[in-house]
Amino acid sequence: MAATKQSAGAGPVPFKDSAGAVPLITIVPGGRPSDPKLWVCCYQGTWVMAPHLPGIVSIQQSFAPRRGDVVLASPPKCGTTWLKALAFATMARGAYPPGDVERHPLSRLNPHDCVPFMEMLFADGSGSGKMDALPSPRLMATHMHHSLLPPSIKENAGCKIIYICREPKDMVVSLWHFSRRARPDLAFSDTFEAACEGMSPNGPIWDHVLGYWNASKANPEKVLFLNPETGSGSLFGNDWYFRKGGVGDWMNHMTPDMARRLDAIVDEKLRGSGLSFA
């Protein structure tokens, strides 16, 4: 697989990492993190987390949606954990009534353990079997771009998608805090520069958002695009997923020039779509 770098201004250009396929999750000077779960690679024009790639390919080849399936879709660091908890509590309401706090799975489990990422479920080739074993209605999640979803998902009217995204500047700040768990020396400017070039996990962020936005406009019965203002098998520790969840934290990390630059990129990419984070 050839690695390419997605430029915000121009089309894809060759990525110059000598090893080719696995540039860094956050483009850290001084080399890639030793932990491969932190690598990302380019796949079909999107940046995917390296551990997710086998699962994505497997989903594209073999996922069989059912009527009643609900897929929670999001870019990373945009409220996935919150939406998983909310959707799980809603869909499991019969088995676990809200008053039964002690017995409720969310009392002891991370939402990521209650609602699997499809990419992880399918990673070892056993995903189809695991999904088939689940009773309907099934609830699952994905960070995949809409363009990566197989036609089986896109064309099955009974399989619904709920999408959540977030102000891109807050997403970038959240991503930096998350990445610093693995690389405490990571400079914010590295995460920022990479994101401006589209190189965030599951980036470019604007393509991710636009894919689901356009799908929602074309078929609102199938794709529920939550109002951006709503936005606030796990690979990482529980406390990596809960920080502030605030809106506007970017002001504590970006200079006005940085904010204007990312705003301009996002505005240009979303122009004409009817979607805005302003």
Q: Which residues are near ligand PPS by CB under 6 A?
A: 74, 76-82, 170, 174, 177, 232, 241-246, 249
| Residue 40 tokens, joined | 């990302």
Nearest distance from residue 234's CB to ligand PPS, in Å? 8
User: What minimum distance in Å lies between the beta carbon of 16 and ligand PPS?
Assistant: 28
Residues 6+ apart with CB under 8 A from 171: 75, 76, 77, 78, 165, 200, 205
CB 140 within 8 A of CB 73: no
% helix, strand, coil for the chain, step of 5: 40, 10, 50
Q: CA-CA distance, 157 to 142, in Å (whole number)?
A: 18
Q: Are 39 and 24 in contact (CB under 8 A)?
A: yes
Q: Which residue is nearest to ligand PPS (CB)?
A: 245
By C-beta, is 43 or 157 nearer to ligand PPS? Answer: 43
Dihedral sign from CA coordinates of 118, 124, 128, 131 = negative
Q: Catalytic residues, which ones?
A: 143
Q: With respect to ligand PPS, which residue has the nearer C-beta, 26 or 80?
A: 80
Smallest distance, ligand PPS to C-beta of residue 251, A: 12
Query: Is the Cβ of residue 183 or residue 219 nearer to ligand PPS in the bound state?
Result: 183
User: Residue 21 or residue 85: which is nearer to ligand PPS going by CB?
Assistant: 85
Residues in the chain: 278
Q: Which helix (H) or strand (E) holds 225?
A: strand 223-225
Cβ(232)–Cβ(246) below 8 Å = yes
| Structure tokens that stand for 72 in this block | 């929670």
Specify the residue, 143 or 160, whose C-beta has the smaller distance to ligand PPS: 143
